Amino acid sequence: MYWPDYFNKLMIFQAIDIFEIFVFSFVIYYFSIWLKNDKQKNLLATFYCTLMLFFIAHFANMIALTSLFIIFWPVVLTIFILIHQNTLQKNFIALKKINVAQIIQTSWLEVFMRSSLNALTNNKQVTAIIECKDSLDNYLQSTFKVFAPINKDLLDTLINSENFAQDKMIWVDSEGKIHAINVNWNIKNTNLWFNETNTELDQWQQDSIIFTSKLDAIAFRTYPEKHTVDIIMQGKIISDLTPNNALILLSQLIKKSEIKWKKSEKETHEASVQINKFKQPSA
C-alpha cells in the first residue's frame, strides 16, 4: 500500500494513527468550542497556554515540569475547575428562567412608560432594566425587593416614595413583573469582564453597555430635562428617542428576544429527543 513519506517523517506509520490523531483533535476542538462560547469569562486562552506549556516542557526535555504536568494533571484539572466553577457551571446549566408557555403581554410596558412620563413631570428620571431570558439574579444587587405584577398605582407609589433613588434602576422582567427598585449592577462579581471605560458616558450607561453586551437584558432611562429616552441593548446605546418611539422599540426588542429564546429551546429539545432515542435500548 502506498504510504506518503511525509507521514513517516511525522512518525505516522499506519492509517489507524491518523484516526487516533483525529480523535484527539476532535476532543480538543470540541472542548475549545465549549470554552469559546463562554460569555462571561473566556478560558480558551488559558487552556491553550496550559497546553503550550505542557508541550514545550515535554519537547524541551524539562523532565520535572513534564512530570509535574503528567502526575499532577488531575490536581491541575481540579484546581482549574474549582477556580472557574461559577463560569463552568453556567456552561453546564444554562441559567435560563423556566417558564410555562404563555403569551407575552407587552401592555405592561405602556403602563410602565406612562408612569415614567408622569415621573418626568415631577422632574424625576426613571432608569429601568428589563430582564428577558438571561437571569439577572447574579448581576444585580438590590435593597428593596418587590416581586409584584406591574400596575400603575404600584409604580406611581414606588416612584413617588421617599425610598426611591433616581440614580438607581427599577428591575422588571419581560412578563411584566417588578422585581425590585433601587437596583445597581453587581460590578464586584464581574470585574474581569471588561476593563475599558468610556469617560464620555455616564456610569450607568457604561455598566449597562457591558452587561447588555453579555446578556439579553434591555436598559433604558427617561430624562426629565429633554423628555427623551435612552435605550441600551446588546452593548449598544440608542439615545434621544421620543417616549412613543422608545415604547415601540422596547416592545419589538422584547418580542425578538422571546422568539430567539423559543428557537434555541426548540433546538435543545430536538437534540435531547435525539439523545433519548439513542439511549433507548433496542427492543
Partner 1 sequence: MKQVYKSINSNNHLLKLSSLIFGYLFWLILASSQNVNKTFDIPLCFYSLKNNLEIIAPEKIIITVNAKRSDIYNFDLKQAAFANIDASQIQQAGQQKIEIKENDIFLHNRIKLINYYPSTLSIQIKEKK
Give the span between the Cα atoms of 178 and 148, in whole angstroms.
5
Query: Least distance in Å: CB of 270 to partner 1?
Result: 7
Assign 117 to helix, strand or coil.
helix
Our finding on whether 270 is near partner 1 (CB under 8 A) is: yes
DSSP string, 128-172: EEEE-SB--TTTEEEEEEEEEE--HHHHHHHHHSTT--TTSEEEE
Footprint of partner 1 on residues 6-45 (CB under 8 A)? 8, 10-11, 13-14, 17, 20-30, 32-33, 36
Site pattern 141..160 for partner 1 (x: CB under 8 A): --------------------
Give the span between the Cα atoms of 68 and 152, in whole angstroms.
64
Give the span between the Cα atoms of 40 and 34, in whole angstroms.
12
Pick the piece of the chain touching partner 1 (CB under 8 A) from 3-11, 160-168, 194-202, 220-228.
Answer: 3-11
Taking each helix axis as running N to C, give the angle between helix 63-71 and helix 44-59, from 0 to 180 degrees, rounded to the nearest 10.
Answer: 130
Query: Least distance in Å: CB of 89 to partner 1?
Result: 19
Give the span between the Cα atoms of 102 and 181, in whole angstroms.
26
* CB closer to partner 1, 48 vs 105: 48
Query: Least distance in Å: CB of 170 to partner 1?
Result: 37
Pick the piece of the chain touching partner 1 (CB under 8 A) from 111-119, 151-159, 203-211, 263-271.
Answer: 263-271
In this chain, which of 71, 75, 83, 275 binds partner 1, going by CB under 8 A?
275
In this chain, which of 146, 181, 267, 282 binds partner 1, going by CB under 8 A?
267
231 bridge partner residues:
220, 238
Footprint of partner 1 on residues 47-106 (CB under 8 A)? 48, 51, 55, 58
Any residues with CB less than 8 A from the CB of 29 and at least 6 apart, and which? none
* CB closer to partner 1, 67 vs 161: 67
* CB closer to partner 1, 60 vs 248: 60
Going by C-alpha positions, the residue among 180, 179, 239, 233 that lies closest to residue 210 is: 233
* CB closer to partner 1, 51 vs 79: 51
Cα of first residue to Cα of last residue in the chain, in angstroms, is 43
Contacts with partner 1 by CB under 8 A lie at 8, 10-11, 13-14, 17, 20-30, 32-33, 36, 48, 51, 55, 58, 267, 270-271, 274-275, 278
